[in-house]
Structure 1
């Protein structure tokens, strides 16, 4: 037992050293003196169903960036809802195009949007994402000056309305989602600095060369993934990332405040509890190790709470999330053909053999 614990401690120390090294090594791509791409080259593509009321504000911010066009890819049953939400933006009607897909499936809707877009760079944007800073477009375009770069993603943080930035108001679910996005930022820049790779280029806001998505072979691979006889709707950004790498393209992570976007997060429970009562001793030992160990929670939480002090009362929720994460991962992998937990209701399409 002592040898095992010593080995775990040594591994943790080494892991901490490696992470710290690459975190310091990471550098975002600066703006070039002369850019070969501008806002006029950017087509925003937004797949949406069950569109939230915040869509109007999101659209307003995207339009403020003056893109070439915004392609809204929805389904016929949601078209009226979309038209209502963009009505306040009718002065920009010449830049807004609505297309419909036959299937409520994010991957299929995205490819319908791709066929309607005309820019050199496609910005794949979720329908609940805000571009609060005016520099998102130039900073996410900057890495494309390297002809080998096929896709670029930036910082993605939680959108917390000012009235909810209060320790007495914010819920554990909001605090946990905020913490998770903050941790993901650190993880991605470390992986990218280490070998130029990335596990997942999140499609909350992802800039991709048009030629990549317009390739029919790419489109077929992306839209025709089947698990358990069912056309897959989930993990679209993970699959997209893999296909980009498989075709020999490099990617870039622009973790800089100038390229930061924010996204809506749940205010209530959308997570599953897993009981730890079956082994209280092991649970307590795990919490003590993670909280006070070399690579423990305390330094991580200290940095997070410095930026989000109003989340301090919800630290217990972070502990829960870190504990059940591996369990949830296993559950997700075993139920990949069931995406009923999604916040948007997709159509189900099974493959008949």
Structure 2
């Protein structure tokens, strides 16, 4: 396993700066996020926490995945290892879109394998990005096997949705940009699926002494379960956010990042994810994926789900949310918005 380093993040930053959209940050209204109960012996003046939303859903192809895909393509271009047969990936989601986009930028072919059940709108979007779309099998595993066979037969460069150091390092550039805009950043809150975004962000965060809150749905807890077991393990996948956070197993790279100091594993129930997503629509007219809303749900979960922030749980007793401390500066990553907004509740006409 490649141990992701801060040097990998720096190299990715140098490669993709100017090729991706810098993240925009928007402050949350003062007082909108509750802070933790204060230590009675804390005599510092009381200050509200400061929370920013990192609007990464505004990235190319609608998610953070563009960063890793761009870093992957550029690194191989620079090394002279980008073959004429192009790149290939099995993914009907954000990773496939990002791979197709990054390949198009460099004028190489992306061959994307999807199950036959893939939504027609995603197939159309991939083809619009110039991808050669192959529909194989009824499940992702069959599409992945076909992708691997294709790479072996043609020499195409095989990419991965999350479990690759270049993909994770590209995602980690996001933390660099957030810190540049929020001096003194204390904490970054990020949703976790397979662990590519988390591994990159956590590696950069540890270098800078920034706390990371790793958020998963209660029933899609691949990273939390790996922390509990001490190794990556398969978990059931059953969440409204499973389309983007539904990895059955986290990467060893993500587990290694999660075992470092300053990482808090948090689980949130689906109804809190739905509530946070609706709140973003109600108050900001922002329509994000449920996976992106999961990060915000960690801060907005009802108090009944929250233990005291100053008593961090053991991995076997995960927190049901996170409350910032006195004056804490927090960034919440809204990582993607490739979603159907049709299930957001519209306000009544008045």
- TM norm structure 1: 0.32
- TM norm structure 2: 0.32
